[in-house]
Amino acid sequence: MSSHPGRRQWHRHPGQHDRRRRLRADSDVTEEIYDWHMDNNLRAGFFLVQALYHRINDNGRVINISSAGARVTDPSIIVYTMAKAAVDAFTRVLAQDLGPAASP
């Protein structure tokens, strides 16, 4: 618990304890690390949009947050790259679905 009331205490994700540690797909990425990245970068946004889908007006706005990490080919951030690339793909498909061309 934080010693400062009202301040949010940030929790590190599994594997963040040492930024120099390389999370390579062939050895260091556990299911816990994989799930953390997918849950925090993709799952929450997907299910939020799903829950609100029928309340979004024609040409409504959905803002998803991605990063340049979606296009980086650095093996040390492979799971992060996959999660952000999935956010990008989800956003493009959602734009097609909710955009003006998709309106009946």
Marked catalytic residue, from 2, 34, 53, 66: 66
Which residue stretches of 5-98 are H helix? 31-38, 44-52, 78-98
34 a catalytic residue: no
Marked catalytic residue, from 2, 3, 67, 103: 67
Marked catalytic residue, from 3, 34, 84, 103: 84
103 a catalytic residue: no
Marked catalytic residue, from 2, 53, 76, 80: 80
Q: How far is residue 14's CA from residue 30's CA, in Å, rounded to a whole number?
A: 9
- Could you identify the residue written with the tokens 């956003």? 91
80 a catalytic residue: yes
53 a catalytic residue: no
Q: How far is CA 47 from CA 57, 62, 89, 92, in A?
A: 18, 13, 15, 16
Q: Please list the active-site residues.
A: 66-67, 80, 84
